[in-house]
Amino acid sequence: MPDQSIPQARTSDSAVREPVSDGGQGISRRALLGTAGATGLVLGAAGGAVGYASAPARATPLTSVGSGRAMFHGKHQPGITEGLQARGHLVAFDLAAGAGRKEAAALLRRWSATADRLMAGEAAPHDDTDVARDAGPSSLTVTFGFGHSFFGRTGLEKQRPGALDPLPDFSSDQLDKARSDGDLWVQIGADDALVAFHALRAIQKDAGSAARVRWQMNGFNRTPGATAHPMTARNLMGQLDGTRNPKPADADFDKRIFVPASGEPAWMANGSYAVVRRIRMLLDDWEKLSLTAQEAVIGRRKADGAPLSGGGETTPMDLEKADAKGEYVVPINAHARITRPDRNGGAAMLRRPFSYHDGIDAAGTPDAGLLFVCWQADPLRGFVPVQRKLDRGDALSKFIRHESSGLFAVPGGAAGGEYVGQRLLEG
């Protein structure tokens, strides 16, 4: 779990917030709830929240969380540079036997149309389940990607990027193949659990006979507004997780995270590569450690994320600082030391994970941890060198277990009137 943080502001082209219009057709699925009254409550850039037509036309929303809207069409797909979302679903599909390029194109066209409508706070194009009735868009994002096997299934092997070659084996891997990889991958995120589930159900139904679910995972993060001010998220170990994440304001952000417009293959222009790992945290073992021991494993203070060498969360870590005994203050095998980009040839990736909890077994052991999702222009220069370094001596390794893995090519955003992947499937 590399030591990099998630940008809090929703700054991407796909993350512009705006009110949902009825398009001049009257309010169909959702009715505008209106702005705050004398209470002085403000709704942010969205200007209002939305709800079903059965809701009062001028009701005052309790919060502005539901009004946030990410844009489906844009330079990049949504769900990459936005801040962490409260609820997420990751799902992989395999194309059905006999389904090929034609069926895949029709499926991506359906999925794109559905995602566009749901992200705008509208009903699914057909057979809407009403699960999200009364809620606004809640910053819903839906992101689509292609796995290594997709190209063989569709006769597009020549268009498969070299960056999509299978990840190397790592000694800490205990991977379940049934919960790894897949022809197609969908990431769903929202600030409301019902809105996220509604999107998951719509995407599954849209798959029809063209594809079947290979695996599906559910995750969560802290709800927006739960803290007094924006801050780095905590994981289930209680640590601030992601202090050194690249930020969109960084001069080299696009170079590190997105395939350039002139890159190869051409259909991946402005796209990115997602590495997805289900990382189980051995919480019973972790929680037996003293606070001092936990901080030594990570290399940062648990309370505020500051490096053990001193300062605040964003203070540069002094890797040479020693204590009175001459030992490094930040241990040589501390997670934060090993994952530093300057210790990995500048390797960097944008982490955008979800925590997960899938129950407690008969022995009382929780199946919980991190749905690790990271984004980079090239996984061979992002994820792989960092994970290799971790594999050779990270103090955190004895408290986690990598149980599933996937690598997906996520093309750039769809322009208006296009569907995601159109340049690949119709090129």
- The mean pLDDT values, 10 residues at a time, for the chain of 427 residues are 48 43 40 37 37 51 86 98 96 98 98 98 94 95 98 98 96 94 98 98 98 98 92 96 91 96 95 98 98 98 97 95 96 93 80 97 96 97 93 94 98 97 96
Candidates 410, 409, 411, 419; CA nearest to 116 is 419
Query: What's the confidence (pLDDT) of residue 14?
Result: 44
Nearest 5°: the CA angle 112, 117, 122 is: 160
Written as six digits, the tokens of 128 are 């809407």
Dihedral pair phi/psi, residue 289, rounded to 5°: -75, 150
| Angstrom distance (rounded) from CA 151 to CA 202 | 25
Catalytic positions are 241
Q: What is the pTM of this model?
A: 0.86
Q: Which residues, at least 6 apart from 152, have a Cβ–Cβ distance to it below 8 Å?
A: none
What pLDDT is recorded for position 41? 36
Closest CA to 214 of 189, 188, 187, 183: 183
3-state secondary structure of 281: strand
Provide the pLDDT for residue 185. 99
Residue 400, strand partner residues: 281
Give dist(CA 409, CA 77) in Å, integer: 12
Can you give the pLDDT at residue 58? 59
293: which DSSP letter? H
Tell me how far apart the alpha carbons of residues 307 and 243 are, in angstroms, rounded to a whole number.
10
Q: 70: which residues sit within 8 A by CB, 6+ positions away? A: 10, 14, 15, 16, 17, 78, 79, 82, 119, 137, 139, 140, 141
